[in-house]
Amino acid sequence: MSKLDELKKEILAKTREYYELAHKDDRSGFRPGQDRINYGGRVFDHREMENLLDSSLEFWLTYGRYSKQLEKELAQYIGAKHCFLVNSGSSANLLAFFALTSPLLKEKAVKRGDEVITTACGFPTTVAPVVQFGAVPVFVDVSLKTANALADQLEKALSPKTKAVFLAHTLGNPFDLEQVSEFCKKHGLWLIEDNCDAMGSLYDGRLTGSFGIMSTASFYPAHHMTTGEGGAVFTSDPLLKKALLSIRDWGRDCFCQSGQDNSCGKRFSQQFGTLPFGYDHKYVYSHFGLNLKMSDMQAAIGCAQLEKLPGFVQKRRENFDHLKKALQDLGDYFHLPEPTSKSIPSWFGFLLTVRDEAPFAKQALVEFLESRLIQTRNLFCGNIVRQPLFENLELDRDYRTPVALANTDKIMNDSFWIGVYPGMTPKMLDYMAQSIRDFVGSNT
């Protein structure tokens, strides 16, 4: 072993020692009412820190060996041929949608003015790429029990301009993939799965993220695994693979990996458009692209996190079941969350919707829980068409609502969720459930 290898081994050993002293978290000491319960957070050990330091010592700051490893392992996990790492789940949604606008797809490409069916109840970056490109989002309503699209409304949203369906698996609960997939197949539509909140969820025994022509993932610290900031796009389609790689990497036509030149063997011997013959292929651009790549240091963290993902998923399910059992008898006051038929969710959160007939308001309950240091969250934007960002958009021109969004408005007004992430202990879960029960008991 060289002196350099010995030094590296010593540094990594010290990193483990540092983790034990600085970061190892003993959550058994949770103090109800004194320690805050966050809805989500990072769960890691010395392996992530060792990988991160190992990558930093190499100082290959952009796409590198850890990125290649993580893309390969993530693709194998989901069951896709290709995975492209990006810098966030929002960027993953942007990249996936813009790939559908690629000229490589010819007549099947999404054009400005074409329509995309989605929901108004969710995170805004599922819808944002559609509007930003100049396509038209068409909104269907959602179920109060699953917070997912009501699949029987898809036909009402269909028009001659419809090109795609772009839906999220809300809080880890899969949407009706059977009915949605059949609808897309029947009408020749693209399907993108926003799988950012659902890594590890199963539908009919198969992982979500493996049904659509593309799917997306997020690795923000609150999600099922983390790289800090980060995300990914998955596909098995060869044309979309080419479009995704180009758009993610500045729009370039060249497919050389970072640090490589002339993989095609024709770097200076091709004709592109009206460029001079032999124009350097590394500087030929076939798409209007961006730079959305993840750094190799982030990917190094992800490689260690992916090993833990099955355990994270199992813990989320256990925590959800713990809360569901503790709150099951409060069904007169809440619409309690239900898994979609045929699914085993990898839950992102526990959604509660106050019933119309309940003698209390959501806001009062949320403020009570926050006063007890229990972090709560709305179901993201509630109803996106009521958000300020839609104020300058015109109904029936810039977006359509072919059905009433009654349940979406109900969720906007009366729903919130609490966390089930793997860092929670039974003591924390019991405190959250008991706090909800205390509030209901004092207001009924």
Contact 292, 94 (CB under 8 A): yes
- Which of these is catalytic: 223, 224, 322, 335? 223
Structure tokens at 310: 């099955």
Contact 173, 345 (CB under 8 A): yes
Structure tokens at 97: 């949608």
Contact 443, 364 (CB under 8 A): yes
Contact 235, 80 (CB under 8 A): yes
**In a 3-state reduction of DSSP, which class is residue 365?**
helix
- CA–CA dist 97, 82 (Å, integer): 16
CA 344 and chain centroid, separation = 17
The reply to whether 82 belongs to the active site is: no
Contact 177, 156 (CB under 8 A): no
Q: Which residues contact 267 (CB under 8 A, 6 or more apart)?
A: 254, 261, 280, 281, 282
* Encoded amino acid at 289, one letter: G
Query: Of 210, 217, 256, which is closest to residue 237 (Cα–Cα)?
Result: 210
Query: Of 365, 359, 353, which is closest to residue 413 (Cα–Cα)?
Result: 353
In whole angstroms, how far apart are CA 170 and each of 147, 185, 263? 6, 22, 41
Q: What is the maximal distance between C-alpha atoms in the chain?
A: 79
Q: Which residues contact 107 (CB under 8 A, 6 or more apart)?
A: none
Q: Any long-range contacts for 370-373 (C-beta under 8 Å, 24+ apart)?
A: 372/33, 372/431, 372/435, 373/33, 373/34, 373/35, 373/36, 373/37
DSSP letters of 225-239? S--SS-EEEEE--HH
Query: Of 135, 178, 139, which is closest to residue 157 (Cα–Cα)?
Result: 139
Task: Supply the DSSP symbol for 393.
Answer: S
- CA–CA dist 359, 233 (Å, integer): 45
Which residue is associated with the tokens 């050389």? Answer: 256
List active site positions.
223
